Structure 1
């Protein structure tokens, strides 16, 4: 059992980073939406969030921030959904590649998971400021995603060659 825990620690930690990113995005989105108030202190948006409701133009800045926060939150959730399986695929099949030990796979996943979390942080708080400031985090997160996607594909190919009897373990 200890061996299983050790080999699955990195992808499990990666999953925690992804879910923590979602939680941070939801928290910020809800905060932006409920902090948008008129001059009398009434909330500009009801629950559930309805961005199509017309808001008085004098509250445009608050409405724009709430809309950006909503789009940011949806983006973080979508990319977490796309990304979540990839560290698990790498963790399970990455060790089947020539010269790749399980410890290398764990280190790789540890470093890239921290990078993904950092990129998400930059994306979330950058997007809340302005659409342009989201790009640094978005680009870094995409690089990690494509690294995971490529690593998953190569790992599956490596194992597939072993399973087909084309290459020995």
Structure 2
């Protein structure tokens, strides 16, 4: 019998530390601050960009909330084991996904509400777009993982508890 295949330790480490996803947006924020004199879109285009990014972020947050519910409400034995064994990792990932989606939806709108310069609105929209993509990738990973566990659970024979015979 062969030993079970172990996942890549780097991959596992990335899954356990969702805060790493903030590295690329921080680079974009710094680049936006350095290159803020670059020509920016017109006011109309800026409104479309902000509205589009905020809408997509809201849709990602809705999908992520659904997948989170699917993960935590699953009643199969394998998923229960995963929830118990990896409670901290799951909690970190789902909190990160939902908070990131919320921030990505609100940040571009705040740049319009508080009349920031155009380059700030564009930078916030681009950072939000990166946050949305990362949150969506993590949500899809956990959805695939949950659905795989559902399939694996249905493929394995169910062991039923024997009936008790009471005197």
Relative to the length of structure 1, the TM-score reads 0.48
Higher relative contact order (CA 8 A, sep 6+): 2
State TM-score, norm by structure 2.
0.48
